[in-house]
Amino acid sequence: MANMKAAIPKGTRDFNPKQMGRRNYIFDTLKKVFKKYGYQEIQTPTMENLDTLTGKYGDEGDQLIFKVLNSGDYLAKVGTALADLKSQALSPKIAEKALRYDLTVPFARYVVMHQNEISLPFKRFQIQPVWRADRPQRGRYREFYQCDVDVVGSASLLNEAEFICIYDEALSNLGLTDFSIKINNRKILTGISDVLGKPESIIDLTVAIDKLDKIGFDGVQTELLSKGFNTSDIEQLKPIILLSGNNASKLESLKLILATSPTGLQGINEIYTVLNYLTNFTLQNAKVELDLSLARGLNYYTGCIFEVKTHQATMGSIGGGGRYDNLTEMFGQAGLTGVGISFGADRIYDVLDELNLFSASAEQSTQVLICVLGQYEETYSLSVLNHLRKQNIAAELYPFGTKIKKQMQYANDKNIPYAIIVGNEEMKTGKLTFKNMLTGQQQMMSAIEIEKHLLTQS
RNA sequence: GCGGUCGUAGCUCAGCUGGUUAGAGCACUGGUUUGUGGUGCCGGGGGUCGUGGGUUCGAGCCCCAUCGUCCGCCCCA
């Protein structure tokens, strides 16, 4: 084969041992919290049938789905003359599978397929990569991990409240101290468009006001005017989305504004209920804010909507979620409501990295390296090595034949905190040289003493 | 899908208005008193200047194309 350049696809990344240590630290921290709240792990295939995914994320979303070319003579099945087909019409004919775009839709499919074996409410978490054919940017990759926690089969708003607790606990455990959990409700957004008398334009309306903090009210106004809203609509809208004050006072004002919209009032009620549930729990760092301009995941969310933003770094949202009432209906099982949240692990990684919040312990694997001067020393040391491992101490022995200098360098490069040196003298006395790589200090200790010392360290 | 930016050693970059053998720091590697890393000192290897065309006596530098990067828009974790 001709020489080819070693490369990986755009928007994907390799992870080295140091990065994997840190990534696993994030996953482990999240998992621990998820389990604590009663969630169980599942996984779904990398590929789904293309028609499982299409139509769930809107037109823009559909275009970002990575499709998998059929095997074999895929053109044979096309049937029509190729030249007559547009790409969009061609792709479902030559690609029947696609890489998953998120974890929520595959989860809905899972629930329907396995409905007879799960008992409701079903609480699951799932940590797997997803793929989007998006243009890469800061904090945006084509392959990235989502960490989803969802519950289906429970309409209780206690779930929503608990998700806020999960966000707070997980992100706090990771060392973040300043972040907001924004909450809104799709029904409130519906109420607003009802009051304006433009229920059919809810998507345009919400997409525009979602950009409020980015482009300001003037920007939103410009966008709305271009979407067919008139100035009196905007005058009416202005006091609503610019509502300020604490959550309670916002809700009070909103109640008056949306008085004529039953749906809107219901949305307000749901927020009330969630906030009320929350008073029974203590949050460590999260600020819970009602944000009427929050409009995520409109293609399937029907109730509460969440989004998490850190104030410690410039980064898009590091998590989001909401309630969806109809997702399983698309797969033939109606009447099942679900609610869930997602953590963007790769973005969280970038934030923790930027803030220097990874501790060294997330990275080191081996705790002690045994360095030997020759073959006899190696043989002598194997029982020491064996004992250390039996005590659950991560230990390795550098096979003989390499200079001590090189072995120490290995320990240093690998961030191994302790080294044991075994030579003639050590074998004679049974006292091994035990070196702390951090301080550089070393002393002679028996294997037993070293073991004890290492056990008290961890 | 649209707009901009950049592309020189493994990494971060320098290279003046085009002019002989393309440089630095870090990394790597060897040595530096006996069996000792991270700090010091001395030496060494490594680049067809993203790729393909073109202009020119001559191109890392100019032009075109192409691929890739990073950033913004759309959208989103």
Q: What are the strands of the beta sheet with A97-99, ordered from one edge?
A: A47-49, A97-99, A67-68
Residue A85: its pLDDT value, please?
A: 66
Question: Span A8-32, mean pLDDT?
Answer: 88
- A144: nt with nearest C1' to CA: B77
What is the tens place of the pLDDT at every residue in A82-106? 666 666 777 778 889 999 999 999 9
- Is residue A257 within 8 Å of residue A268, measured between CB atoms? no
Which nucleotides along chain B are within 7 A of a protein C-beta?
A: 1-3, 28, 30, 35-38, 68-77
Residue A222: its pLDDT value, please?
A: 86
Find the Å distance, CA of residue A135 to C1' of nucleotide B52. Answer: 26
Q: How confident is the model at residue A14 (pLDDT cuts 50, 70, 90)?
A: confident
Comparison of pLDDT for A227 and A108, the residue scoring more: A108
Residue A229: its pLDDT value, please?
A: 86
Residue A297: its pLDDT value, please?
A: 66
- A58: nt with nearest C1' to CA: B75
Residue A401 pLDDT exceeds 50 = yes
Hunting for tokens 């191994």 — which residue is that?
A416
Task: Give the range among A101-110, A234-243, A370-379 with minimum mean pLDDT.
Answer: A234-243
Find the Å distance, CA of residue A3 to C1' of nucleotide B50. Answer: 16
Q: Where do the domains of chain A lie, and which CATH numbers do they carry?
A: 17-45+100-354 (3.30.930.10), 364-457 (3.40.50.800)
Residue A1: its pLDDT value, please?
A: 39
- Is residue A191 within 8 Å of residue A264, measured between CB atoms? yes
Comparison of pLDDT for A271 and A239, the residue scoring more: A271
User: Mind giving me the DSSP string for A328-375?
Assistant: GGGGT--S--EEEEEEEHHHHHHHHHHTT---GGGT----EEEEESSH
- A344: nt with nearest C1' to CA: B77
- A8: nt with nearest C1' to CA: B68
Question: Span A306-319, mean pLDDT?
Answer: 87
Report which of A16, A20, A46, A53 is spatially closest to residue A330, judged by C-alpha positions.
A53
In three-state form (DSSP H/G/I as H, E/B as E, the rest C), the secondary structure along A232-301 is HHHHHHHHHHCCCCCHHHHHHHHHHHCCCCHHHHHHHHHHHHHHHHHCCCCCCCEEEEECCCCCCCCCCC
Find the Å distance, CA of residue A291 to C1' of nucleotide B50. Answer: 46
Find the Å distance, CA of residue A7 to C1' of nucleotide B59. Answer: 28
Question: For chain A, how long is the longest CA-to-CA vector?
Answer: 94
- A61: nt with nearest C1' to CA: B75
Q: How far apart are CA A367 and CA A416, in angstroms?
A: 5
Report chain A's mean pLDDT, rounded to a whole number: 89
Find the Å distance, CA of residue A42 to C1' of nucleotide B11. Answer: 39
Q: How far apart are CA A228 and CA A220, in angstroms?
A: 13
What is the tens place of the pLDDT at every residue in A414-438? 889 999 999 999 999 999 999 999 8
Q: How far apart are CA A205 and CA A241, in angstroms?
A: 11
Residue A276 pLDDT exceeds 80 = yes
Residue A58: its pLDDT value, please?
A: 82
Residue A381 pLDDT exceeds 80 = yes
Task: Give the range among A78-82, A141-145, A275-279 with minimum mean pLDDT.
Answer: A78-82
Model ipTM value: 0.81
Residue A298: its pLDDT value, please?
A: 67
Find the Å distance, CA of residue A397 to C1' of nucleotide B36. Answer: 16
Question: Span A27-46, mean pLDDT?
Answer: 96
Residue A458: its pLDDT value, please?
A: 64
- A441: nt with nearest C1' to CA: B36
What is the tens place of the pLDDT at every residue in A255-268? 999 999 999 999 99
Comparison of pLDDT for A85 and A393, the residue scoring more: A393
What is the tens place of the pLDDT at every residue in A155-175? 999 999 999 999 999 999 999
Tokens, residue A110: 């899972």
Apex CA A166: angle with CA A160 and CA A172, to 5°? 140
What is the tens place of the pLDDT at every residue in A339-363? 999 999 988 988 888 888 887 777 7
Q: Torsion over CA of A434, A438, A441 and A446, rounded to 10 degrees?
A: -20
Find the Å distance, CA of residue A435 to C1' of nucleotide B16. Answer: 53
Residue A2: its pLDDT value, please?
A: 44
Question: Span A25-46, mean pLDDT?
Answer: 96
Tokens, residue A150: 């969802």
Percent of chain A's residues with pLDDT above 90: 56
Residue A207: its pLDDT value, please?
A: 85
Q: How far apart are CA A354 and CA A318, in angstroms?
A: 14
